[in-house]
Amino acid sequence: MSYLSPKKFVIFYHPNVRESLGLAQEIATFINDHGASAEYSSVDDEAKRARAGEADMLISLGGDGTMLRVGRIGAFKSQPVLGINLGRLGFIVDVQPDEWRDVVERILRGEYRIEERLMLHASYSRGGATLGGYEVLNEVVVARGTVVRPIRLYTMVDNDPLANYVADGLIIATPTGSTAYAMAAGGPVMPPTARNIIIVPLAAHLSPDRPVVLLPDMVIEIIVRTEHQAVFSADGQASTLLQDGDLVRIQTSRHSARFVRMQPPAYFYKSLAERMANNPTADKAK
C-alpha cells in the first residue's frame, strides 16, 4: 500500500547510543538534500518533543525502548514512526542501519505501509483521587516491591470479579507487549495488529496462574491489598509506589501507535523465529 510522501521529519536519537547522533545528522542531511525537510533531537529533549507534532513522520534511532518512547510521542498526533535499529533486540524496530538510505528513498516516494498498534490508558488512584495517568504501548505491571512476599490483587473486568490473585504481580499487556515481559512470564504471543488486552500473572500462589486474553473494550480494575511495598510501572519506566487499597484502572487508549513498515505482514513471525533461535540480548553483559 502507498501513502502520501512525507515532507517534514523529526529524527529522535538516543543520547546514550554512541552512533545515534552522527546517524541522525546524516539522515537529516540526506532528507534535506532530497527535497523534504528534517531536524533532529535527543529523545530526552522535552521542548523538541512538544514541537514534533508538526512533522509528517518521526524517525527513531535506538532500540525497542527508544521506539516505544517515540511511538508514544507520535500517537498523540497520529504520526507514523520509522524505527532504525541501533539496539540489540529490535522486535519492533525492523530497519537495520545499513538499510536506511534505500528505506528513506522509498518512504519519500510513498512506498511504505502503516501498522496500527493498540495502546492502553492506565491510571492509579487512592481514596477516590486519581494520582497519575499514562499512555502505554507495551505493558502495565502491578507487582511487589523489594520485600520478597506476594501481594493480593483483587481484579475485576467490566465491574465483574475475575480473580483474587496472590502473586508477585500482574502484567497487563498489549499485543505489542506480548513479545516483551509478558512472553518471558509465559503469556501468549499475539499478532502485533491484534486488538486485545492480555493479563499475565507473575508467580501466582494457590490462585489462577493462566494468562487471560480480553476484548479491547473491556476495563480492568485492580485493587492492591498488601502489608508491604507494591509498585506500579508503565512501559518499564520508573516505578511508582502503591499502598494498600490503591486502585489501578486500565482500558484501551483513544490513541494508537502507527509504525512504518517496509516488509509484508508475515515479517513478524520470521523476526520472532530468528530472535528465539538466537537471542541477541544473551551477551548483553559483554
For the chain, the structural domain boundaries read: 8-112+262-277, 119-254
pLDDT at 212 over 70: yes
- With cut-offs at 50, 70 and 90, classify the pLDDT of residue 172: very high
For the residues 219-227, what does the mean pLDDT come to? Answer: 97
Which residue bears the cell 484501551?
Answer: 252
For the residues 77-102, what does the mean pLDDT come to? Answer: 89
pLDDT at 93 over 80: yes
SS3 82: strand
279 contacts: CB under 8 Å, gap ≥ 6: none
Q: Is 64 a catalytic residue?
A: yes
Percent of the chain with pLDDT over 70: 95
> Any idea which fold 119-254 has?
Tumour Suppressor Smad4 (2.60.200)
Query: Rounded to an integer, what distance in angstroms lies between the CA atom of residue 70 and that of residue 11?
Result: 9
Structure-model confidence comparison of residues 284 and 141, the more confident one: 141
* Catalytic-labelled residue, pool 33, 64, 168, 283: 64
| CATH class of segment(s) 8-112+262-277 | alpha beta
For the residues 94-104, what does the mean pLDDT come to? Answer: 94
pLDDT at 150 over 90: yes
pLDDT at 5 over 70: yes
Residue 282's pLDDT is what?
Answer: 58
Number of Cβ within 10 Å of residue 275's Cβ equals 16
pLDDT at 89 over 60: yes
Indicate the DSSP class of residue 95: B
- In this predicted structure, which of 3-7, 18-22, 31-35, 195-199 has the lowest mean pLDDT? 3-7
- Mark 11-31 as b/e (b = at least 16 C-beta within 10 Å): bbbbeebeebeebbeebbebb
Residue 285's pLDDT is what?
Answer: 43
* 124 in Cβ contact with 233 (< 8 Å): no
Q: What does the block give as the cell for 72?
A: 508514544
